[in-house]
Amino acid sequence: MNIADFLAPEKWLQPDGGPRYMQMRKRFTDGVDQGLLNSGDPLPPEREIAAITNMSRVTVRKAFRVLAEDGIIVQKQGSGSFIASDTPKLEQSLSRLTSFSEDMARRGMTSTSVWLERGVFMPSPDEVLALALTPDASVSRIARLRTADNKPMAIERASLSTEMLPNPLEVEASLYAVLEHVGLRPVRALQKISAINLEERDADLLGVPVGTAGLRIERTSYLGDGRVVEFTQSIYRGDAYNFVAELRLAKE
């Protein structure tokens, strides 16, 4: 919609309506609730909004700060402000080894999967190295789009030796549930996280524009005896996850 028309002060600003920045907050909140402003819509710079509304930039800045705290808008350094995504923002602990299905169940959300690949293959060089495979070994691969309450959240591509997972078709919901059933659930893992811009294939699967910020996570999981269980490469929506780690002061 035309943001200048939406913010025209004669349509919403009242002399006795309280602080101006709070009235602006309400205008934006009402716009989102009424479907006039949509998820991901970019907003003009503060100086432009100040000119449209005949308010000071300080007032606009206060309104934006409150809107950001309320989760109505997101402010990205160097990119500007946007209407926040309606995708739930989830906090994911980096100190707990759980599956996607377990994470969503703990939050009261329904997780589903769309299978992208499932079968036994010759391993790639990365899989040989990560899983400590012999040259003649085979690898079980499962790749799927993970959703929470029908919203695409992540793409998981897991590789396991056929010793750990002889038949990848056994995995219907939770990989870890299958491994636990045979006494091979991992007890620890190493993870590497990097920021990326989503390429076309992954962006299409996650339902976001090409180039959107995302997170790539490589996880190598181990049994208690040190054997590698799985090597997983996952792509997460950057607008859907906060990864949290608890740090403790080391005792000297």
| Least confidently predicted of 32-36, 67-71, 106-110 | 106-110
Q: Tens digits of per-residue pLDDT, 160-179?
A: 999 999 999 999 888 999 99
Specify the CATH number of the domain 90-244.
3.40.1410.10
Q: How far apart are CA 158 and CA 141, in angstroms?
A: 6
Give the number of other CB atoms < 10 A from CB of residue 139: 23
CATH architecture of 3-83: Orthogonal Bundle (1.10)
**Boundaries of every domain in the chain:** 3-83, 90-244
Q: Tens digits of per-residue pLDDT, 105-122?
A: 766 667 788 999 999 999
pTM of the model: 0.62
